[in-house]
Every structure is written in C-alpha cells, then in structure tokens.
Amino acid sequence: MVLNIIFSFNRAMQLDYFLKSGLERVKFPTETIVIYHATGDHAKGYKKLIEKYSKYLHLRFVERLPNKLSTYLKFRLTKEQKQKYLKGDNFKSILEQIIGDSTHEFVMFNTDDGLWINDVNISEEIFNMIKNNPSSVSYRMYVGNNLEELPPFVRNWNGIYLWDYYSEKRVTHWTYPFAIDGTVYSRSFIASILNKMWYSGPVDLEESGVNYIRKNKLLSIGMSPLSATLIGTVINRVSTTSLNPVVGNIGVDDLNNYFLNDYTLFYELPKLLNKVHYVPEKIFAVKGSESILLYKKDNEGKKIQDSFGIGGTKK
C-alpha cells in the first residue's frame, strides 16, 4: 500500500476537487493523510471538508499547529531563537512522525492544486523495483510522452518509461530526482533522509530534498507511465516562499466562501495537455444545476501558460 501525503494551505475547495479526482482515478491501494494549515475562516472550510470525507476510512486530516516552547527550550534558546521558533509550526515533526510510524512500504506526496486526469495503476513489477532498490528507484506519474520535447535518454522499457535522472544537467522534470507531486518512493528510504534535511514547509521540503539527493547521487533511476496521469493547476498562490503565478482574481478567500456555500470546483482544461502545469481554460463554481463562471483564460493567463518551458518547467 502507498502512503499518500497531501499538503494543503487555505485551499479546501481545490483540495476537494483533487480528492474527488483521486477517488475516481487512483486504482492502487492508498492511505491518504492530508497535512493542512488554515487561517481565519479557512478553518471552517477544512471542517466542512473533513465532515464531507469522514466516511472514507483510508483518508484522514492532520492540522499543522504553531510551535510551543517547552520548559527545556525556554532555557536552551536565545531570545532571537525563541522568536524564530515561535513563528514556525510543527510541519517537520508531524511529517516525520507520520512517515516514521507508517507500516506501508511506499510513500508519495501531493499538493492541493493537483488533478488526476487519467486512471492510474501501478504494477507489482514497478513496486518490486522500488522495494528492491529503495535508494535508487522512484515512479513519477506527472510525466509521459504527452509532454513536449521528451528527452532522448528516456526509454520505453516493458510498457513504461525508464531513465537516469543524472543524464544531463539541463533542468527538466526528467532531471529533477525528488518532487512533492505524484512520485512514489520507498517509505523507509524517505524516512531515513528526512531528519538529515532542514525544511519548514512543502516548498522547503522539495528544495532540500533535491539538494540532498543530488549531493549524494541518490534516486538515479526514474520510471513513469507512457502518458502522464497527473497535472498541476495554476490558479492562485498561498506559499510565501514560492513565486508561482496567479490568474484572474481567484483568491483563496473567494473560493473558500463558495465552498462554505456548498459549491464545488470544475475546470475546463486545454485540449492539448503537453505540459505539467496548466492555467485552465475556464473555472466554474458548481452547485446542483447552477454553474458560475469564475474565470476564462485571458491574455494574462496565456502569458502565464507560455512562461512554462520544457514539459512545464519554469523558463
């Protein structure tokens, strides 16, 4: 079974859309744990979401909470260190506890702006390759031959793609050995390296993971389906450490209000899916027979879409 850890921050409505796509498309067994952070009225959105998915026994939610000073730390840290510590939360500790305590053989990460677009299954042969080569092999589901400029070092092997992440220095999704989106790893291997890395949130986790793994030449062998089964959507930005673009005026507060009033999301995607990240053609809020157009791709949206390079990497 795969431990599926999803990161979410103030995006209950987008997370709902992603979870629905997973329930429909993901055909291999998973235990899904959502690590979420909510501010203000977004807590109400997650409360509603938790109630909505309470019937799914393989799905649970864990909230990130602010750091608290223990008696030990009160006397060990300087004033400046205490201030910095109290600005953070328990993301690192709960992530490492969840992965460390799990008995599943495999783990993957995802984010709330993803979307499963095709049915996805993973063969026993692929799982065994990861199991038998835990520090070398992973399986990535957001790449495939639908992406533009498939590198020549990516080979078709028994109905899947196989490649070496260190084949070239150019940065693409086939030379990026660690990602927090739709990539299956050995859980025990990931557990063994997390405490060697510094990170305070999902963006830091991916950056630190890539640096550590590249430095130690780990996870060199990549595998993927022939056609991608997962995409990322570009709508809004919640991370203060990420420069991801924003389209239209679709703020997380507005989406949360729609969600609290029983609306769900629907994206109309481009017909040609040759990137990893997409600005939807149209975005709707739907409730019963009512459909409200929230966004239609404009020149700014086209500009953002065109800003992505090979396969969806940033130019």
pLDDT digits (tens, 9 = 90+) for 282-297: 999 999 999 999 999 9
103 has a pLDDT exceeding 80: yes
Which CATH superfamily is 2-224 part of? Spore Coat Polysaccharide Biosynthesis Protein SpsA; Chain A (3.90.550.10)
Residue 26, pLDDT > 50, answer yes
**Is residue 85 pLDDT above 70, yes or no?**
no
Residue 87 has pLDDT above 80, yes or no: no
Q: For residue 151, what pLDDT is reported?
A: 93
From the list 109, 73, 98, 102, the residue with the least C-alpha distance to 88 is 73
pTM of the model: 0.91
- Cα dist. 284→2, 74, 293 in Å? 32, 50, 5
Burial track 170-198 (b if 16+ CB lie within 10 A, e otherwise): eebbbbbbbbbbbbbbbbbbbbebbeebe
Residue 241: what pLDDT? 46
Could you report the per-residue pLDDT of 2-19, keeping only the tens digit for each?
999 999 999 999 999 999
pLDDT of residue 235: 87
pLDDT at residue 249, as a whole number? 59
Q: What is the pLDDT of residue 48?
A: 98
User: What confidence tier does 303 reach under pLDDT thresholds 50, 70, 90?
Assistant: confident
Q: For the residues 190-195, what does the mean pLDDT come to? A: 96
pLDDT in tens, 153-179: 999 999 999 999 999 988 899 999 999
Return the higher-pLDDT residue of 306 and 126. Answer: 126
Task: Please tell me the distance from the alpha carbon of residue 78 to that of residue 39, in angstroms, as a whole number.
Answer: 28
Task: Find the range with the poorest average confidence among 37-46, 70-79, 96-105, 248-257.
Answer: 70-79
Q: For residue 300, what pLDDT band results from cuts at 50, 70 and 90?
A: confident
Across 226-232, average pLDDT = 96
pLDDT at 141 over 50: yes
pLDDT for residue 110 is more than 90: yes
List every span in the chain annotated with CATH 3.90.550.10. 2-224
pLDDT of residue 307: 81
Q: What is the per-residue pLDDT for 309? A: 65
**Which has more pLDDT, 314 or 279?**
279
Q: How confident is the model at residue 67 (pLDDT cuts 50, 70, 90)?
A: confident
